[in-house]
């Protein structure tokens, strides 16, 4: 059975333009990567947890902000690894200056025997859909396309 993750694609309108919130992964492996490195705030969940509840929990863990408004399901995407990500969209304001992520520990530098803490997310930014399509991990681009298609239907 594949691992499962859930996340939220937060959006808002700035001067009539739809923008989406993406996060950049923290830690030394991602520090110099940009295009294709960004993601929706997301994380794994167990079989007994509802995907929407997991998405809200993970958003809070990665940003320090609780999403309390309604969410729309955006379906699932499958990563090359086989992992499934359930996506949800929600409209909300979010001050990126207030982001505070949980930390993870890893041995760094490799084989040094020294453990260091890094934020799971080192920054968040609002992007236009055009820019977000370039910045987001390619497998997650479908969430942006689905959000855009729903907006056009309205």
Q: Which domains does the chain have, with CATH numbers?
A: 4-153 (3.90.79.10)
Query: So what's the pLDDT on residue 95?
Result: 86
Quick: pLDDT tens for 106-154: 999 899 999 999 999 999 999 999 999 999 999 999 999 999 998 776 6
Cα–Cα distance, 12 to 63 (Å, whole number) = 17
Model confidence, pTM:
0.92
Quick: pLDDT tens for 62-106: 999 999 999 999 999 998 889 999 999 999 987 888 889 988 999
């Amino acid at each position: 059975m594949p691992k499962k993750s859930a996340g939220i694609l937060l959006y808002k309108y700035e001067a009539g333009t739809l923008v989406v919130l993406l996060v950049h992964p923290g830690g030394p492996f991602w520090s110099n990567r940009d295009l294709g490195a960004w993601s929706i705030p997301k994380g794994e969940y167990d079989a007994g947890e509802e995907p929407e509840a997991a998405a809200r929990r993970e958003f809070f863990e990665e940003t320090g902000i609780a999403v309390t408004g309604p969410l729309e399901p955006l379906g699932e995407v499958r990563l090359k690894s086989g992992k499934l990500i359930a996506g949800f969209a929600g409209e909300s304001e979010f001050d990126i200056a207030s982001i505070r992520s949980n930390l993870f520990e890893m041995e760094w530098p490799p084989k040094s025997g020294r453990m260091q803490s890094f934020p799971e997310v080192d920054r968040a930014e609002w992007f236009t859909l055009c820019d977000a399509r370039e910045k987001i991990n390619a497998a997650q681009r479908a969430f942006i396309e689905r959000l855009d298609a729903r907006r056009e239907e309205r």
